[in-house]
Amino acid sequence: MEPSQTNVPRKVTRVAIIGAGDIGQAVGHLLEKAGTARVEFWDKMPDKVPHQRSLQDVVAPVKIVFFCLPSWVFREAVMSCLPHMRKGTVVVSLAKGIEKDTNKTIDQLLEELLPQGMSFALLAGPMLAKEISEDLGGAATVGTRKQSTYTKLAELFAESGLRTEFSADVHGIALTSVMKNVYAFSLGIADGLGWGGNKKGWLTARAIEEMQAVLKVMGAKKGTAVSPAGLADFIATGFSCYSRNRQTGDELVRTGQCNLQSEGVSSFSAFMTLLNGETAPYPLVHALKRVLVDHEDACLVFDSFFHETRHA
């Protein structure tokens, strides 16, 4: 008699999650739900992880390390973990931003920091931590140059409720992850200004149009703008009450104050540097520059932007 397939032991992979904040906890929840990983957390603030072991003890034995951190601490975290990683360790980043001092995107940072040949992937898409923790599911593009790396991660999340898709356009994924936060900030401004669904729908279309134009200029694939890492994540982030980037834009209009610790705001000046300061070809980015950098009135700027004359 053939043994039941349900009796076949499931392969369990040892995984470390660096960063025990909302998204780190959400990724841990997904892996626990899938039953495919033995997860251990480490955080710079040890009170977030009960009975936290040393970084070496957490990282050294594992096959995959997830970095669930903001971009402004990413370099420090990777460098702290590197001495404890094995040659075959796979690094997975959920960071979405640009390093301020170097203007490097996350993929460029990993290429600089990791030993030659070490596999890495970017995981990006509509993955709002609150919804994942409530088992509402999510989707992600896995940006990696190695199909084998994607296969490992796809198997890891196979029964977790997270849909995964492969993309070899790693730099495009990194850029799109930055832009979706920047443009989500604009949707927050629209909320603060009281724009309705019609105008926000128009704003969404303009944002995607600009994302595609930027990707083309940067040598990435335009199609990445409409992947889970692009359009899907932008919609989830820009329209969700849980999104910090949307909230920050809304608060700027209502209070006149701006939270610089949102990825969209933190990355904006570096994003303009990537564009060589040439914001004019990208009217929505230019409007955000006028609000964030030049401190012009958001209502006047966005009203002017909405009513500008365009020719198809």
pLDDT in tens, 135-180: 999 999 999 999 999 999 999 999 999 999 999 999 999 999 999 9
CATH number at residue 286: 1.10.1040.10
For residue 302, being part of any structural domain is answered with yes
Asked if residue 70 lies in contact with residue 97, where contact means CB atoms within 8 angstroms, the answer is yes
Same domain? For 79 and 185 the reply is no
Rounded to 5 degrees, what are φ and ψ at 166?
A: -95, 140
pLDDT of residue 181: 87
Statement to judge: residues 154 and 228 lie in one domain: no
pLDDT attached to residue 4: 42
The pLDDT score that the predictor gives to residue 267 is 74
180 is catalytic: yes
Write out residues in the chain with pLDDT < 70, as ranges.
1-10, 258-266, 309-312
**Does residue 3 lie within any of the structural domains?**
no
Instruction: Examine the domain organization and report whether 268 and 145 are in the same domain.
Output: no
312: in domain: no
Tokens of 201: 């729908």
Q: For tokens 């610790």, name the residue.
A: 261
CATH code of the domain in which 88 resides? 3.40.50.720
- Burial of 272 per CB tally in 10 Å (0-12, 13-18, 19+): buried
The pLDDT score that the predictor gives to residue 36 is 94
| Judgement on whether residues 157 and 111 belong to the same structural domain of the protein | yes
How much is the pLDDT for 6?
Answer: 47
Residues 202, 137 share a domain? no
Please give the tally of structural domains in the chain: 2
Give yes or no: residues 200 and 281 share one domain. yes
Which of 116, 136, 168 represents a domain boundary (last residue)?
168
Which candidate, 245, 244, 301, 296, places its Cα nearest to that of 268? 245
Contact 90, 120 (CB under 8 A): yes
Q: What is the pTM of this model?
A: 0.90
State whether 83 and 187 are in the same domain.
no
The whole-number pLDDT of residue 3 equals 44
Its domain, for residue 132, covers 11-168
Q: Strands 120-124 and 138-143, how do they pair?
A: antiparallel
Q: For position 128, what pLDDT does the model report?
A: 93
pLDDT score for 88: 92
Give the active site residue among 180, 216, 221, 222.
180
Q: In what order do the strands lie in the sheet with 37-42?
A: 37-42, 13-18, 64-67, 90-93, 120-124, 138-143, 162-167
4 lies in a domain?
A: no
**Per-residue model confidence as pLDDT tens digits over 222-259:** 999 999 999 999 999 889 887 777 878 888 888 877 65
**Pick from 168, 196, 226: which residue ends a domain?**
168
The residue with tokens 């198997």 is 155
Domain end marker among 102, 134, 168 = 168
